[in-house]
């Protein structure tokens, strides 16, 4: 039986330096039935980005492009990609990051195994480019037991974190998850779980990812977590402005 089509939305705003490598990390996934939607969101070099993505789509029909002439924000881009897909499962990926080759397959398998509608995985903090290049070809051994956090534990931790005055993000205890790596059933989006503009007032709602993941977890309690690092997060790119 054919595996379900999974949308991977890649929102790009001024990250053309990393974009091709980012897209290729999704093209090279062990899970192949993908709708790879690149949303170009008003970058300064938009014409170059359009040419790059069109060249990739010529050789890989899974790759498609949506273009915003002006910057509309990541939340708008994600909603646009989900609205336009025929996939039944959705995920996303930042234009300056890399997914390990078995990330999509592992997350999908865990969702099926745990019968959950929403899943997150861990990530590597990559402060330097050599850390990215060193790790990008990592794959978990096929006989490796995947560590999973079950829905009840996830919900308890996230809701406890929301009550804590010093925690201002999606909280899963001692294991960090990458908010952008959320994989979820498209039916969640259809019943009203949309991505909202950032900073709407509540402490956990500081980013589109944290907001979406918090609302899903606290409302339906159907979130599983792959307690494995499957995503490479570049920390010193232009939108992060973070120091070691």
| CB contact at 8 A, 223 and 157 | no
The CA-CA-CA angle for residues 188, 189, 191, to 5°, reads 70
Please tell me the predicted confidence (pLDDT) of residue 169: 67
Residue 202 is classified by DSSP as S
Please tell me the predicted confidence (pLDDT) of residue 214: 86
Report the distance separating Cα 177 and Cα 121, nearest Å: 5
Report the distance separating Cα 26 and Cα 136, nearest Å: 12
Positions in the chain short of pLDDT 70: 168-169, 199-206, 238-244
Please tell me the predicted confidence (pLDDT) of residue 242: 37
Give residue limits of the domains in the chain. Answer: 6-234
| DSSP secondary structure of 106-146 | HHHHHHHHHT-SEEEEEEEEE-SHHHHHHHTT----TTPPP
| CB contact at 8 A, 208 and 196 | yes
Please tell me the predicted confidence (pLDDT) of residue 244: 31
Report the distance separating Cα 167 and Cα 66, nearest Å: 36
pLDDT tens digit string along 167-210? 766 788 888 998 899 999 999 999 999 998 876 655 445 678 88
pTM exceeds cut of 0.75: yes
Residue with tokens 């001024």: 14
The topology under which CATH files domain 6-234 is Spore Coat Polysaccharide Biosynthesis Protein SpsA; Chain A (3.90.550)
Supply the Cα-derived Rg of the chain in whole angstroms. Answer: 17
């Amino acid at each position: 039986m054919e595996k379900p089509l999974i949308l991977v939305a890649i929102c790009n705003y001024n990250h053309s330096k990393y974009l091709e490598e980012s897209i290729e990390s999704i093209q090279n996934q062990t899970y192949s039935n993908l709708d790879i939607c690149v949303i170009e969101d008003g970058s300064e070099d938009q014409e170059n980005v359009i040419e790059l993505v069109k060249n990739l789509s010529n050789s890989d029909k899974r790759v498609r492009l949506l273009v915003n002439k002006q910057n509309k924000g990541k939340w708008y881009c994600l909603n646009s990609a989900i609205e336009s897909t025929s996939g039944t499962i959705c995920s996303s990926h930042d234009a300056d990051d890399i997914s390990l080759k078995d990330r999509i397959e592992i997350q999908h398998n865990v969702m099926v195994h745990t019968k959950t509608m929403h899943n997150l995985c861990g990530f590597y903090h990559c402060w330097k480019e050599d850390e990215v290049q060193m790790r990008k070809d990592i794959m978990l051994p096929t006989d490796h037991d995947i560590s999973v956090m079950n829905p009840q534990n996830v919900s308890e931790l996230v809701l406890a974190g929301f009550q804590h005055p010093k925690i201002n993000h999606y909280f899963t205890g001692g294991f960090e998850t990458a908010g952008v790596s959320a994989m979820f059933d498209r039916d969640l989006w259809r019943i009203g779980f949309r991505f909202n503009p950032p900073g709407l007032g509540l402490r956990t709602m500081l980013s589109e990812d944290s907001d979406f993941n918090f609302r899903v977890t606290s409302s339906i309690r159907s979130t599983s977590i792959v307690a494995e690092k499957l995503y490479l997060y570049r920390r010193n790119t232009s939108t992060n402005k973070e120091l070691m």
